[in-house]
Amino acid sequence: MSMTARSSTVELANRLSLDIRERGLQPGDTYLTASEAGMLLNVSKSRANRALQLLAARRTLQRSRGAAPVVADPPRVGELTHSISRIHIFIPKADITAEGVYSDGCMVGLQQSMPEAHLHLNFYPDHGDGQFTREIINNSAHSNEMTGIVLVRSSIEAQLAVVDSGLPAVIHGTPYPGVEGIAAVDRDYVQAARLHIEYLRSKGCRRFMLLMHDRMYAGGFVFLDALRDEFADQGISSDAVKQCFVPTHEAAVRQVIGQVALADGDHPDLPGVVAFGGPLADLTLRAMEALQLKIGRDLILTYGGYYATGPASVLNLPHEQAVLTAEQQGALVGRLLQAQADPSTERAELVRMEMRFVEA
């Protein structure tokens, strides 16, 4: 049996499972060590070890420290065959401090839905979150506990690392294109875009600015596409829509806000600004104060919130928000994570949360 180095952990585990069946091994029979499995699969010991760990999570093998794995007994009728003991939550630290992403409510809901699991917050470094994710996954491969993964605002490299692991996982956010096999709890961005534009148009806005961070995650791009489509559906020309990618720096935001709000001679219509996230909305308010601009007189401002918790929720600005509370979202993530841990689950579920618009 020969495998390439690019084979996923799931594929490697499936090959080992097939090998067990072809050998006719019975419960209690000794199977390959990580080194032997690596030689069989033509991969490194660490990658073989992850495949063996996945088989242990599936209850195909039973592993104990310092001993070769053995074929596990088949589960009794009605016996629970999947139980996640440890959940690793991956998140950029800045998102907790800046926007309250993955607030206490989410953590409480997740813990209530999975009371026996230990929750571990893992803060991504500034760079290399894919490698960071793989290191945590590799370390968990040395444990006999089943590990679950929750990804919040992660890069495509981190998402693909989790796909490759084969571990039960949920993306609390938006999967990137090409990322498949992971359950997700995402916002309904199409609905959110419609809510924003309908509100701005009701306030008399006929020209618009989309104020975006210069570094966005998958959800930001999906939201941007949804806004573009909604503008087109409502007959708003591209000339009436300005897109600005800016860093979260007051001077940069002040300049672009001044450009759109002070161009009264060329554009007499009241501009509507959609800020992507609470931090940019906060900077927009500071820029307006410095420029002596007022909401309602010079522009209308909304922001695309995330969970509308933490500092962003005290902005007192119109924003879209998930109908589900943070605690309910955490509980939903837990339910999907439990389903992913069940080998009988045939597909990864994608849940799009209903949105509502909150006026200040």
CA 331 to each of CA 80, 90, 169: distance values in angstroms, whole numbers, following the listed order: 20, 17, 14
Q: State the pLDDT at residue 300.
A: 95
Q: State the pLDDT at residue 232.
A: 95
Cα 51 off chain centre by:
24
| CATH of the structural domain 9-71, one choice from 2.60.40.420, 3.40.50.2020, 1.10.10.10, 3.30.565.10 | 1.10.10.10
Residues of the chain with CATH 3.40.50.2300: 84-186+325-353, 189-322
Q: State the pLDDT at residue 309.
A: 44
What is the 3 state secondary structure string of the chain?
Answer: CCCCCCCCHHHHHHHHHHHHHHHCCCCCCECCCHHHHHHHHCCCHHHHHHHHHHHHHCCCEECCCCCCCEECCCCCCCCCCCCEEEEEEEEEHHHHHHHCCCCHHHHHHHHHHCCCCEEEEEEECCCCHHHHHHHHHHHHCCCCCEEEEEECCCCHHHHHHHHHHCCCEEECCCCCCCCCCCEEEEECHHHHHHHHHHHHHHCCCCEEEEEEECCCCHHHHHHHHHHHHHHHHCCCCHHHEEEEEECCCHHHHHHHHHHHHCCCCCCCCCEEEEECCHHHHHHHHHHHHHCCCCECCCEEEEEECCCCCHHHHHHCCCEEEECCCHHHHHHHHHHHHHHHHCCCCCCCCEEEECEEEECC
Q: Kindly give the confidence (pLDDT) of every residue in the chain, 360 residues in length, as a single tens digit, with 9 standing for 90 and above.
A: 333 333 567 778 889 989 999 999 999 999 999 899 999 999 988 888 878 877 876 678 888 777 889 998 876 544 444 678 889 999 887 665 555 556 667 888 898 899 888 888 888 887 788 899 999 988 876 666 788 999 988 899 999 999 888 889 999 999 999 998 899 999 999 999 999 999 999 999 999 999 998 888 899 999 999 999 999 999 999 999 999 999 989 999 999 999 887 665 455 678 999 999 888 898 999 999 999 999 999 999 999 865 444 444 467 889 998 999 888 999 999 999 999 887 777 788 999 999 999 987
Helix axes 156-165, 9-23, angle to 10 degrees: 10
Q: Find out if CATH 3.50.50.60 is the number for domain 84-186+325-353.
A: no
Residues of the chain with CATH 1.10.10.10: 9-71
Q: State the pLDDT at residue 353.
A: 95
The CATH architecture to which 189-322 belongs is 3-Layer(aba) Sandwich (3.40)
Q: State the pLDDT at residue 50.
A: 77
